[in-house]
A and B are shown apart, each in its own frame.
Chain A
């Protein structure tokens, strides 16, 4: 049975802010008439999951179990690829592999870079 990890299932402010923006692919793609069922970052996310398993950081079974727990407890209303992304980041944050402040800051940098093009 799964070990109780209530602290790891608590909501994370940064991820809640992203989720509440409401811009999942299945919502915004139809607005632009785009019919591709998957967001453009999906394969990159898949690759990230594989790399984390190969490097031993987050083995597949471990990642899927926490993903199931988070999907049930925190991200149940989020569509599939966004749910997988949020669950992965949530796990990395809760295990201290990535720091929330660093991530928020990096998101600002990345957005500026993308919007400057």
Chain B
């Protein structure tokens, strides 16, 4: 929900950001099933609160900071590639949260995949869309689709082309299928035209898609742009050379 307030002159009539004024059945359903689950002992309210706070705390800004720092500090880059979990602590990201031993989807085995001019990584989880949430936040819908999960391993160049990324044949494309407990993030090649940039300026061009490997960072590109689709096509059906993952 938007919470920004703008003060009009004179101290009266604050402009309040819009909110959804109705209570949908989805909202009611989520509360109701949660209450019943807690009452049936499926989990505790306390655990749920801790995980909710954790879910609200993670986002891709952390990953962007890791990349920007690795680009500007060779010592940090070496530590990041050697031990991802410990290097994350240097920017205040703790893979042990919120349980002390991570979450049942993210675990504590974070590995950064270093791109070079001849090697490009791209990440998928064919089994269930595992994703490095402590450093990238929640996964985008297209990453979770069976379309992406099935096609990226088999037709990576075609799928990347649908994202607008075409790499020459002499570049090795390496797909990382995160099927076990390791979680991965791409460390892209630092683009030219960013000499003498600050870490903040660099982080601004390292978007989520760059850290998954479906986009390359470049000056001026500060957002991932996708056509926004409703789930119109059944996610289980797609021909091998079909349209881009949604």
Interface residues of A (CB under 8 A from B): 17-18, 21, 23-26, 28-29, 31-36, 39-48, 50-55, 57, 59-61, 64-65, 68, 71-72, 76-80, 82-83, 85, 88-89, 92, 97-98, 102-103, 106-107, 109-111, 114-115
Contacts and interface: CB of A to CB of B under 8 A. Distances in A.
Contact residues on B (Cβ < 8 Å of other chain), bracket: 35 or more
Interface of B: 1-2, 18-37, 40, 42-44, 47-52, 54-56, 99, 103-105, 127-129, 138, 141, 144, 146, 230-237
Given A29-B20, A34-B20, A47 B51 contact: yes
Nearest to B22: A28
B128 A110 contact: no
Nearest to A78: B231
Contacts of B23: 111, 114-115
A51 B56 contact: no
Contact of B128 (A18, A44, A64): A64
A73 B80 CA distance: 42
The dominant DSSP class at the A interface is helix
Given A52-B43, A55-B43, A71-B235, A98 B2 contact: no
Given A43-B55, A61-B127, A97 B26 contact: no
A37 to B, nearest CB: 9
